Amino acid sequence: MNAQAPALRDPRLNRPEPFTPPLGDGGFFQRDRSIHPQAYAPGYKSSVLRSQRQALLSLENSVSEITGPVFGHNDLGPLDNDLIRNYAKDGDPIGERIIVHGRVLDETGRGVPNTLVEFWQANAGGRYRHKKDTYLAPIDPNFGGCGRALTDETGYYYFRTVKPGPYPWRNYVNSWRPAHIHFSVFGSGFAQRLITQMYFEGDPLIPVCPILTTIPDKDALDRLVAPLDLNASSPFDSLAYRFDIVLRGQRSTYFENRPEGN
Protein backbone atom coordinates (compact mmCIF):
# COMPACT_ATOMS: atom_id res chain seq x y z
CA MET A 1 0.00 0.00 0.00
CA ASN A 2 1.28 3.44 -0.95
CA ALA A 3 1.20 5.72 2.08
CA GLN A 4 1.49 8.79 -0.18
CA ALA A 5 -1.81 8.33 -1.99
CA PRO A 6 -4.46 10.72 -0.67
CA ALA A 7 -7.56 9.13 0.81
CA LEU A 8 -10.62 8.70 -1.35
CA ARG A 9 -13.14 11.41 -0.51
CA ASP A 10 -16.81 11.80 -1.29
CA PRO A 11 -16.76 13.80 -4.58
CA ARG A 12 -20.34 15.00 -4.75
CA LEU A 13 -21.07 18.70 -4.88
CA ASN A 14 -24.84 18.95 -4.88
CA ARG A 15 -26.37 16.34 -2.71
CA PRO A 16 -29.87 15.35 -3.82
CA GLU A 17 -32.71 15.66 -1.35
CA PRO A 18 -33.09 12.60 0.84
CA PHE A 19 -36.39 10.79 0.64
CA THR A 20 -38.20 8.01 2.42
CA PRO A 21 -38.54 4.91 0.26
CA PRO A 22 -41.92 3.21 0.23
CA LEU A 23 -42.19 -0.18 1.85
CA GLY A 24 -42.98 -1.46 -1.62
CA ASP A 25 -44.78 -4.73 -2.10
CA GLY A 26 -46.31 -3.78 -5.44
CA GLY A 27 -45.06 -5.41 -8.61
CA PHE A 28 -42.41 -3.84 -10.80
CA PHE A 29 -43.22 -1.95 -13.99
CA GLN A 30 -43.25 -4.29 -16.95
CA ARG A 31 -39.79 -4.46 -18.44
CA ASP A 32 -39.55 -2.58 -21.74
CA ARG A 33 -37.59 -5.13 -23.74
CA SER A 34 -37.32 -2.83 -26.76
CA ILE A 35 -34.43 -1.02 -25.11
CA HIS A 36 -32.55 -4.19 -24.15
CA PRO A 37 -30.49 -6.40 -26.45
CA GLN A 38 -32.34 -9.33 -27.95
CA ALA A 39 -31.14 -12.73 -26.71
CA TYR A 40 -30.26 -13.70 -30.29
CA ALA A 41 -27.89 -11.06 -31.66
CA PRO A 42 -25.79 -12.79 -34.35
CA GLY A 43 -23.25 -9.94 -34.62
CA TYR A 44 -22.21 -11.01 -31.12
CA LYS A 45 -21.44 -14.60 -32.02
CA SER A 46 -21.47 -16.07 -28.52
CA SER A 47 -25.18 -15.27 -28.32
CA VAL A 48 -26.12 -17.64 -31.16
CA LEU A 49 -26.01 -20.92 -29.21
CA ARG A 50 -26.95 -19.36 -25.89
CA SER A 51 -30.15 -17.56 -26.94
CA GLN A 52 -33.69 -18.77 -26.54
CA ARG A 53 -36.11 -19.76 -29.31
CA GLN A 54 -39.21 -19.92 -27.12
CA ALA A 55 -41.06 -16.86 -25.88
CA LEU A 56 -40.43 -15.85 -22.28
CA LEU A 57 -43.41 -16.63 -20.06
CA SER A 58 -44.73 -13.38 -18.57
CA LEU A 59 -45.20 -13.65 -14.84
CA GLU A 60 -47.26 -11.33 -12.70
CA ASN A 61 -44.93 -10.41 -9.87
CA SER A 62 -45.44 -12.47 -6.74
CA VAL A 63 -43.58 -12.25 -3.47
CA SER A 64 -40.80 -14.30 -5.12
CA GLU A 65 -40.04 -11.44 -7.54
CA ILE A 66 -40.66 -8.33 -5.45
CA THR A 67 -38.34 -9.52 -2.69
CA GLY A 68 -34.60 -9.92 -3.05
CA PRO A 69 -31.45 -10.20 -0.99
CA VAL A 70 -30.68 -7.42 1.47
CA PHE A 71 -27.06 -6.36 1.98
CA GLY A 72 -25.44 -4.17 4.59
CA HIS A 73 -22.16 -2.53 5.47
CA ASN A 74 -21.19 -5.73 7.28
CA ASP A 75 -20.84 -7.38 3.88
CA LEU A 76 -18.17 -4.92 2.74
CA GLY A 77 -14.61 -4.07 3.68
CA PRO A 78 -13.29 -0.50 4.07
CA LEU A 79 -11.32 -0.51 0.78
CA ASP A 80 -13.94 -2.23 -1.34
CA ASN A 81 -14.74 0.95 -3.30
CA ASP A 82 -11.11 1.95 -3.82
CA LEU A 83 -9.59 -0.06 -6.67
CA ILE A 84 -6.42 2.04 -6.47
CA ARG A 85 -5.74 0.67 -3.01
CA ASN A 86 -7.65 -2.58 -2.59
CA TYR A 87 -5.04 -4.73 -4.31
CA ALA A 88 -1.97 -2.45 -4.04
CA LYS A 89 1.12 -4.44 -3.06
CA ASP A 90 4.09 -2.08 -3.47
CA GLY A 91 2.66 1.04 -5.13
CA ASP A 92 -0.30 2.41 -7.05
CA PRO A 93 -1.64 0.71 -10.17
CA ILE A 94 -0.55 2.13 -13.55
CA GLY A 95 -3.08 4.24 -15.43
CA GLU A 96 -5.29 7.31 -15.47
CA ARG A 97 -6.72 7.81 -12.01
CA ILE A 98 -10.50 8.26 -12.17
CA ILE A 99 -13.50 8.54 -9.90
CA VAL A 100 -16.77 6.98 -11.05
CA HIS A 101 -19.88 8.19 -9.29
CA GLY A 102 -23.62 8.40 -9.77
CA ARG A 103 -26.97 7.33 -8.44
CA VAL A 104 -28.97 4.15 -8.69
CA LEU A 105 -32.53 5.30 -9.45
CA ASP A 106 -35.73 3.58 -10.38
CA GLU A 107 -37.92 4.51 -13.33
CA THR A 108 -39.93 6.89 -11.15
CA GLY A 109 -36.74 8.86 -10.47
CA ARG A 110 -36.43 7.82 -6.84
CA GLY A 111 -33.02 6.85 -5.54
CA VAL A 112 -32.59 3.18 -4.63
CA PRO A 113 -31.02 3.22 -1.15
CA ASN A 114 -28.74 0.64 0.47
CA THR A 115 -28.40 -1.48 -2.61
CA LEU A 116 -25.28 -3.40 -3.56
CA VAL A 117 -23.35 -2.22 -6.62
CA GLU A 118 -20.44 -4.39 -7.79
CA PHE A 119 -17.97 -3.48 -10.53
CA TRP A 120 -15.08 -5.13 -12.35
CA GLN A 121 -12.77 -4.17 -15.17
CA ALA A 122 -9.53 -4.72 -17.08
CA ASN A 123 -6.39 -2.84 -16.08
CA ALA A 124 -5.03 0.20 -17.93
CA GLY A 125 -3.47 -2.09 -20.57
CA GLY A 126 -6.74 -3.94 -21.24
CA ARG A 127 -5.79 -7.11 -19.33
CA TYR A 128 -8.05 -8.79 -16.77
CA ARG A 129 -6.72 -10.42 -13.65
CA HIS A 130 -8.43 -13.70 -14.57
CA LYS A 131 -6.87 -17.08 -15.14
CA LYS A 132 -8.73 -17.43 -18.45
CA ASP A 133 -7.50 -14.10 -19.91
CA THR A 134 -4.43 -14.64 -22.11
CA TYR A 135 -4.15 -11.22 -23.80
CA LEU A 136 -0.49 -10.20 -24.17
CA ALA A 137 -0.83 -6.93 -22.21
CA PRO A 138 0.75 -7.41 -18.76
CA ILE A 139 -1.00 -7.99 -15.46
CA ASP A 140 -0.55 -5.01 -13.13
CA PRO A 141 0.82 -6.34 -9.82
CA ASN A 142 -1.00 -3.58 -7.92
CA PHE A 143 -4.41 -3.89 -9.55
CA GLY A 144 -7.13 -6.46 -8.84
CA GLY A 145 -9.85 -4.84 -10.91
CA CYS A 146 -12.95 -5.30 -8.79
CA GLY A 147 -14.84 -3.47 -6.10
CA ARG A 148 -18.24 -2.86 -4.61
CA ALA A 149 -20.26 -0.23 -2.81
CA LEU A 150 -23.56 0.14 -1.03
CA THR A 151 -25.66 3.10 -2.16
CA ASP A 152 -26.50 5.66 0.50
CA GLU A 153 -30.00 6.77 1.45
CA THR A 154 -30.31 8.76 -1.80
CA GLY A 155 -29.07 5.97 -4.06
CA TYR A 156 -25.62 7.54 -4.45
CA TYR A 157 -22.45 5.47 -4.92
CA TYR A 158 -18.84 6.23 -5.83
CA PHE A 159 -15.54 4.49 -6.29
CA ARG A 160 -11.99 5.21 -7.40
CA THR A 161 -10.02 3.24 -9.97
CA VAL A 162 -7.80 3.57 -13.03
CA LYS A 163 -9.34 3.90 -16.47
CA PRO A 164 -9.48 0.46 -18.14
CA GLY A 165 -7.88 -0.04 -21.54
CA PRO A 166 -9.57 -1.41 -24.68
CA TYR A 167 -8.66 -4.96 -25.68
CA PRO A 168 -9.11 -7.38 -28.60
CA TRP A 169 -11.41 -10.38 -28.38
CA ARG A 170 -12.39 -13.29 -30.58
CA ASN A 171 -15.55 -12.36 -32.46
CA TYR A 172 -14.34 -11.07 -35.79
CA VAL A 173 -10.56 -11.23 -36.25
CA ASN A 174 -10.26 -7.53 -35.48
CA SER A 175 -12.89 -6.94 -32.81
CA TRP A 176 -11.96 -4.62 -29.94
CA ARG A 177 -13.92 -3.83 -26.84
CA PRO A 178 -14.17 -0.11 -26.01
CA ALA A 179 -12.88 0.74 -22.54
CA HIS A 180 -15.62 -0.32 -20.12
CA ILE A 181 -16.46 -1.15 -16.53
CA HIS A 182 -18.89 -3.97 -15.74
CA PHE A 183 -21.65 -3.21 -13.21
CA SER A 184 -23.86 -5.57 -11.24
CA VAL A 185 -26.83 -4.04 -9.39
CA PHE A 186 -29.48 -5.61 -7.15
CA GLY A 187 -32.26 -3.12 -6.36
CA SER A 188 -34.87 -4.02 -3.78
CA GLY A 189 -36.40 -7.04 -5.56
CA PHE A 190 -34.91 -9.91 -7.51
CA ALA A 191 -36.81 -8.83 -10.64
CA GLN A 192 -34.69 -5.64 -10.71
CA ARG A 193 -31.42 -7.60 -10.91
CA LEU A 194 -29.26 -6.13 -13.66
CA ILE A 195 -25.81 -6.50 -15.13
CA THR A 196 -24.57 -3.87 -17.56
CA GLN A 197 -21.42 -2.10 -18.74
CA MET A 198 -20.38 1.54 -18.52
CA TYR A 199 -18.46 3.16 -21.38
CA PHE A 200 -16.48 6.38 -21.57
CA GLU A 201 -17.47 9.54 -23.44
CA GLY A 202 -15.58 10.02 -26.68
CA ASP A 203 -14.34 6.44 -27.15
CA PRO A 204 -14.13 5.82 -30.92
CA LEU A 205 -14.65 2.06 -30.43
CA ILE A 206 -18.19 2.53 -29.11
CA PRO A 207 -20.01 2.61 -32.49
CA VAL A 208 -18.18 -0.47 -33.80
CA CYS A 209 -18.46 -2.75 -30.77
CA PRO A 210 -20.47 -5.93 -31.56
CA ILE A 211 -21.59 -6.20 -27.92
CA LEU A 212 -22.66 -2.57 -27.52
CA THR A 213 -24.50 -2.60 -30.84
CA THR A 214 -26.71 -5.47 -29.64
CA ILE A 215 -28.71 -2.65 -28.05
CA PRO A 216 -31.42 -1.78 -30.57
CA ASP A 217 -32.22 1.68 -29.21
CA LYS A 218 -29.82 4.58 -29.81
CA ASP A 219 -30.86 6.49 -26.68
CA ALA A 220 -30.52 3.36 -24.52
CA LEU A 221 -27.01 2.88 -25.89
CA ASP A 222 -26.12 6.51 -25.19
CA ARG A 223 -27.27 6.06 -21.58
CA LEU A 224 -24.45 3.53 -21.07
CA VAL A 225 -21.85 6.18 -21.92
CA ALA A 226 -20.57 8.08 -18.89
CA PRO A 227 -19.71 11.74 -19.49
CA LEU A 228 -16.58 13.34 -18.11
CA ASP A 229 -17.64 15.18 -14.95
CA LEU A 230 -14.96 17.80 -14.44
CA ASN A 231 -16.83 19.36 -11.52
CA ALA A 232 -16.49 16.15 -9.52
CA SER A 233 -12.83 15.62 -10.37
CA SER A 234 -10.22 15.86 -7.68
CA PRO A 235 -7.66 18.53 -8.77
CA PHE A 236 -4.11 17.23 -9.26
CA ASP A 237 -5.41 13.73 -8.49
CA SER A 238 -8.28 12.17 -10.47
CA LEU A 239 -10.74 12.92 -13.27
CA ALA A 240 -14.35 11.92 -12.68
CA TYR A 241 -17.03 10.22 -14.76
CA ARG A 242 -20.71 10.22 -13.89
CA PHE A 243 -22.81 7.09 -14.35
CA ASP A 244 -26.42 6.88 -13.22
CA ILE A 245 -28.12 3.48 -13.34
CA VAL A 246 -31.89 3.11 -13.64
CA LEU A 247 -33.67 0.00 -12.36
CA ARG A 248 -37.30 -0.90 -12.96
CA GLY A 249 -39.91 1.18 -11.19
CA GLN A 250 -42.35 -0.26 -8.72
CA ARG A 251 -46.10 0.16 -8.51
CA SER A 252 -47.30 1.72 -5.29
CA THR A 253 -47.85 -0.32 -2.20
CA TYR A 254 -51.31 -1.68 -1.52
CA PHE A 255 -52.03 -1.36 2.16
CA GLU A 256 -54.87 -3.41 3.55
CA ASN A 257 -56.04 -0.49 5.69
CA ARG A 258 -56.06 1.87 2.70
CA PRO A 259 -57.72 -0.13 -0.06
CA GLU A 260 -58.12 3.01 -2.20
CA GLY A 261 -54.36 3.08 -2.70
CA ASN A 262 -51.85 5.60 -1.54
Partner 1 sequence: MPQPLNYLKETASQTAGPYVHIGLIPAMAGFDIFEKNFSNVLVTPNTKGERITLEGKVLDGTGTPLRDVLLEVWQANAAGRYNHPADRSAGALEQEFRGWGRAGSDFESGLVTFETIKPGAITDKAGRKCAPHINVWIVARGINIGLNTRLYFSDEEAANAADPVLNLIEQPTRRSTLIAKRSERAGKAVYSFTINLQGPEETVFFDV
Footprint of partner 1 on residues 141-200 (CB under 8 A)?
144-146, 148, 182, 184, 188-191, 193-197
Annotated catalytic, 177?
yes
Residue 64: CB atoms within 10 A of its CB come to 11
Annotated catalytic, 101?
no
The nearer residue to partner 1, 86 or 238, going by C-beta atoms, is 86
Integer angstrom CA distances of residue 56 from 38, 39, 59, 110 = 12, 11, 9, 29
Among the listed residues 85, 180, 242, 248, the single catalytic one is: 180
Residue of the chain from 61, 151, 154, 238 that contacts partner 1 (CB under 8 A): 61
Over the range 157-177, which residues count as b (16 or more CB within 10 Å of their CB) and which as e? bbbbbbbbbbbebebeeebbb
Judge contact between 249 and 29, C-beta under 8 A.
Answer: yes
Q: Is the dihedral of CA 192, 197, 198, 199 positive or negative?
A: negative
Judge contact between 92 and 142, C-beta under 8 A.
Answer: yes
The nearer residue to partner 1, 70 or 208, going by C-beta atoms, is 70
114 binds partner 1 (CB under 8 A): no
The nearer residue to partner 1, 133 or 203, going by C-beta atoms, is 133
Annotated catalytic, 254?
no
Of the candidates 172, 174, 120, the residue with the CA atom closest to the CA atom of residue 147: 120
Spatial neighbors of 69 by CB under 8 A, at least 6 apart, are 186, 190
The nearer residue to partner 1, 168 or 233, going by C-beta atoms, is 168
* DSSP string across 126-167: S--SSTT---SSPPPTT---EEEEE--TTSEEEEEEEPPPPE
| Number of residues written out for the chain | 262
Among the listed residues 44, 167, 199, 241, the single catalytic one is: 167
Among the listed residues 12, 182, 193, 251, the single catalytic one is: 182
Annotated catalytic, 50?
no
Residue type, 253: T
33 binds partner 1 (CB under 8 A): yes
Among the listed residues 87, 128, 156, 158, the single catalytic one is: 128
8-16, 93-101, 209-217, 226-234 -> range binding partner 1 (CB under 8 A): 209-217
Residue of the chain from 43, 95, 168, 249 that contacts partner 1 (CB under 8 A): 249
Of residues 63 through 82, those in contact with partner 1 by CB under 8 A are 63-70, 74-77, 80
The nearer residue to partner 1, 99 or 105, going by C-beta atoms, is 105
Of residues 125 through 144, those in contact with partner 1 by CB under 8 A are 128-133, 144
Annotated catalytic, 182?
yes
Active site residues: 128, 167, 177, 180, 182
